[in-house]
């Protein structure tokens, strides 16, 4: 067969680019990543774009329904709550709290988990077995229960929630890193660099990590969707973000008393949480699908 | 099987030991004096405090303090609630059965709905049915449970008025507390309105149990779909097809049995997840269970109750976990020989 690019070097895309080329061809995953990028954008720039302050009350505009309702007001697009605070602004600020903080949670637990996971993968014998058992015990306590206990120790508040959920998520990252690193260390290319005289740390950093980074990413999206739900749940229970903060779960809990006269104060934050979790899950699902396809080829 | 039992039991004891260490160290992490956090006696006089100090051996080293604490727990003394000043073990005795009942019924619902749907998705792999079921599963997996609970109450209790929105039995019925599991208590009671009470209890449990069941059901859908696809591509299915068995025979006689074994293995892990969801749902539906009690005790800074609740709830989850491991090993002889963690 004639080759049309006779003078060009043949290009072998890097593993990451291969992944992206599969990912790009799945429309659902692309929709997910668009929503995800939109949320990231809102989390960063939302506070600047929001039309009103999320905490200042406006007693002339109490419990205004969304704009499409006959009694709605266009300048308050999604209506107002019982203190006349604009729902749209509150939800936009809430993006940087609920969604943005879930990012921070995942990054904290990812970094700590990967460090401990690779260390425990390199240890052997009694120490390793003890670590394994210990993390299995921690993993089988329900994550929200553990987070609630940690919040009880630290006291309620959004900062403490972040720490609590980050601590709760560390064991699963340790677990997955440990297994991934152990699996890679059995392969031939690691043996090759070992024969070249590379130290364990060097092998880990230059050879193993580039090969497991996608698996960690897929676990990170799973953890992030769980983190959004956990932050919102703790906010809803009154253990996370405290009263004036526009965290989605807290907004929802705030609207609870007036659910029957102002249902939008409950529907909208719930939909926001649902949207964020679905976007994250679609991205994760896309990565997992692309990983599977890449493995098959 | 004997070795397997022994290994599981030693794992259980080890796990409970680690849990009591965690619970013991919580007393020092919580604000306030460790002895008062252990015992919950906030209004203790000087002489009572003296007795407590000797009972929990606070003047000795940390190891003997831990064993003194362990001894109290083994004697069934979890201290008393700081808020109500009644013994925690008796409070838990009243509340835990309601949680067990709710979570087990939710588990049964999620399995009976999720597993067949997953099988259907696997049989229709990469067709319309598969995609529809998968999208539904994604939706159910992403929905925040407290929001779903509120929507369910709004729709089914307020707008339609079909189901009650709170509690576990109408106040009209007087049922004696025997086991704590509502349905068994009703059947044991000699009330003339037994069957009305039974119907009322069913209506009360239906909504919270369904709300809890949705997220685990979607996980069961994905799990059973993956397992079924794996089983259907195995050689023995090909052999069965080559023998000329009909589609129904292959599915019901070979595929489902083999797939079920692999699914049962994961039920234990899902149960921890389900109990977490149940805790939040109990708050929304005012279900008188241990989850709601635990969250309320956090509001009241009732540290002794938090410790006791953590211990009992995790213990319950582990027992279910290990029971499911036994069922798995009984069904699948291959699992018995495997070493833990290999």
pLDDT in tens, chain A (297 residues): 566 666 666 777 777 788 888 888 888 888 989 999 999 998 898 888 888 887 777 777 777 778 787 877 777 778 787 787 888 888 888 898 889 999 899 999 999 999 988 888 887 766 666 777 677 667 767 778 888 888 888 888 888 889 989 988 888 888 888 888 888 888 888 889 889 888 888 888 888 888 888 888 888 998 999 899 999 988 888 888 777 888 888 888 888 888 888 888 888 889 999 999 999 999 988 888 888 888 777
Of residues A234, A56, A273, the one with CA closest to residue A152: A234
Q: Which pLDDT does position B112 carry in this prediction?
A: 92
In the predicted structure, residue B339 carries a pLDDT above the cut 60: no
The answer to whether B304 touches B37, Cβ cutoff 8 Å, is yes
Q: Is the ipTM of this complex over 0.90?
A: no
Say which residues have a Cβ less than 8 Å from residue B336's Cβ, sequence separation at least 6: B1, B3, B4, B329
User: Which chain B residues have a beta carbon less than 8 Å from that of A134?
Assistant: 18
The answer to whether B167 touches B282, Cβ cutoff 8 Å, is no
Q: pTM for the complete prediction? A: 0.85
Of residues B286, B265, B179, B274, the one with CA closest to residue B217: B274
Q: Which class for B42: exposed (0-12), middle (13-18), buried (19 or more C-beta within 10 A)?
A: middle
Which chain B residue has the Cα nearest residue A136? B15
Contact A152 B298 (CB under 8 A): yes
B15 touches chain A (CB under 8 A): yes
A260 touches chain B (CB under 8 A): yes
> Other C-beta atoms within 10 Å of B334: how many?
8
Calculate helix-pair angle for A209-236, A143-154, nearest 10 degrees. Answer: 70
How many angstroms separate the Cα of A6 from the Cα of each of A12, A83, A191, B141? 16, 70, 36, 50
- Tokens read off for A91: 């939800």
Q: Which pLDDT does position A78 carry in this prediction?
A: 80
Distance between CA atoms of residues B149 and B137, nearest Å: 17
B25 touches chain A (CB under 8 A): no
Summarize the confidence of residues B173-202 as an average pLDDT.
Answer: 76
Distance between CA atoms of residues B9 and A40, nearest Å: 48
Contact A137 B19 (CB under 8 A): yes
User: Which chain A residues have a beta carbon less than 8 Å from that of B147?
Assistant: 252, 266, 270, 273-274
Contact B317 A281 (CB under 8 A): no
Contact A137 B18 (CB under 8 A): yes
Of residues A238, A224, A251, the one with CA closest to residue A148: A238
> Other C-beta atoms within 10 Å of A72: how many?
17
Instruction: Please write the tens of the pLDDT for every residue from B72-116.
Output: 888 877 777 777 778 888 888 888 888 888 999 999 999 999 999
Distance between CA atoms of residues A275 and A283, nearest Å: 12
How many angstroms separate the Cα of A97 from the Cα of each of A21, A83, A144, A249, A277? 32, 21, 19, 10, 14
Distance between CA atoms of residues A72 and A77, nearest Å: 8
Closest CB to B280 among A132, A233, A252: A233
Q: Which pLDDT does position B190 carry in this prediction?
A: 75
Q: Which pLDDT does position A109 carry in this prediction?
A: 93
Instruction: Please write the tens of the pLDDT for every residue from A77-136.
Output: 787 877 878 888 888 888 988 899 998 999 999 999 999 888 888 877 666 667 776 776
User: Which chain A residues have a beta carbon less than 8 Å from that of B142?
Assistant: 225, 274, 277-278, 281
């Amino acid at each position: 067969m004639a080759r049309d690019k006779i003078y060009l070097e043949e290009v072998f895309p890097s593993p990451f680019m291969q992944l992206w080329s599969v990912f790009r061809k799945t429309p659902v995953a692309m929709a997910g990543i668009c929503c995800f990028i939109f949320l990231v954008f809102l989390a960063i720039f939302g506070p600047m774009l929001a039309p009103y302050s999320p905490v200042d009350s406006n007693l002339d505009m109490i419990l205004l329904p969304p704009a499409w309702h006959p009694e709605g007001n266009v300048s308050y697009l999604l209506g107002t709550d019982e203190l006349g605070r604009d729902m749209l602004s509150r939800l936009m600020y809430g993006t940087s709290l609920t969604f943005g903080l879930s990012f921070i949670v995942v990054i904290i637990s990812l970094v700590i988990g990967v460090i401990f996971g690779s260390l425990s993968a390199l240890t052997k014998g009694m120490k390793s077995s003890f670590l394994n058992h210990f993390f299995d015990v921690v993993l089988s306590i329900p994550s929200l229960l553990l987070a609630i206990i940690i919040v009880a120790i630290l006291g309620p508040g959004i900062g403490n929630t972040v720490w609590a959920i980050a601590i709760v998520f560390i064991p699963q990252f340790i677990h997955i890193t440990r297994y991934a690193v152990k699996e890679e260390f059995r392969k031939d290319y690691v043996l090759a660099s070992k024969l070249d005289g590379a130290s364990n740390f060097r092998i880990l950093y230059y050879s193993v990590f580039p090969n497991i980074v996608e698996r960690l990413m897929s676990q990170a999206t799973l953890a992030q969707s769980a983190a959004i739900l956990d932050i919102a749940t703790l906010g809803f229970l009154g253990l996370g973000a405290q009263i004036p903060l526009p965290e989605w779960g807290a907004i929802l809990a705030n609207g609870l008393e007036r659910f029957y006269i102002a249902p939008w104060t409950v529907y909208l934050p719930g939909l926001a949480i649902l949207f964020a979790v679905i976007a994250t899950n679609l991205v994760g699902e896309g990565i997992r699908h692309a990983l599977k396809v890449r493995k098959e080829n | 099987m004997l070795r397997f039992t022994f290994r599981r039991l030693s794992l259980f004891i080890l796990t409970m030991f680690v849990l009591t260490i965690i619970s013991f160290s919580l007393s020092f992490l919580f604000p306030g004096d460790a002895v008062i956090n252990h015992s919950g006696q906030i209004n203790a006089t000087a002489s009572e405090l003296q007795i407590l100090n000797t009972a929990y051996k606070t003047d000795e080293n940390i190891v003997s303090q831990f064993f003194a604490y362990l001894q109290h727990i083994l004697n069934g003394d979890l201290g008393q609630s700081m808020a109500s000043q009644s013994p925690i073990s008796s409070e838990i005795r009243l509340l835990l059965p309601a949680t067990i009942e709710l979570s087990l019924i939710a588990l049964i619902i999620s399995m009976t709905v999720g597993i067949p749907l997953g099988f259907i998705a696997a049989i229709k792999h990469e067709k319309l049915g598969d995609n529809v079921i998968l999208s539904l599963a994604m939706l159910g997996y992403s929905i925040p449970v407290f929001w779903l609970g509120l929507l369910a109450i709004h729709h089914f209790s307020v707008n339609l008025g079909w189901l009650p929105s709170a509690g576990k039995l109408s106040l009209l019925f007087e049922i004696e507390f025997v086991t704590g599991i509502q349905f068994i208590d009703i059947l044991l009671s000699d009330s003339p309105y037994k069957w009305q009470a039974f119907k009322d209890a069913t209506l009360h449990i239906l909504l919270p149990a369904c709300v809890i069941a949705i997220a685990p059901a979607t996980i069961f859908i994905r799990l059973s779909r993956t397992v079924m696809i794996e089983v259907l591509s195995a050689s023995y299915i090909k052999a069965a097809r080559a023998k000329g068995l009909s589609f129904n025979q292959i599915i019901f006689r070979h595929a489902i049995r083999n797939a079920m074994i692999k699914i049962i293995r994961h039920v234990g892990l899902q149960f921890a997840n389900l109990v977490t969801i149940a805790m939040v749902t109990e708050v929304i539906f005012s279900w008188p269970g241990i989850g709601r009690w635990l969250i309320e005790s956090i509001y009241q800074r009732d540290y002794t109750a938090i410790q006791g609740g953590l211990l009992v709830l995790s213990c319950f989850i582990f027992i279910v976990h290990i029971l499911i491991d036994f069922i798995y090993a009984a069904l699948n002889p291959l699992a018995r020989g495997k070493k833990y963690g290999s």
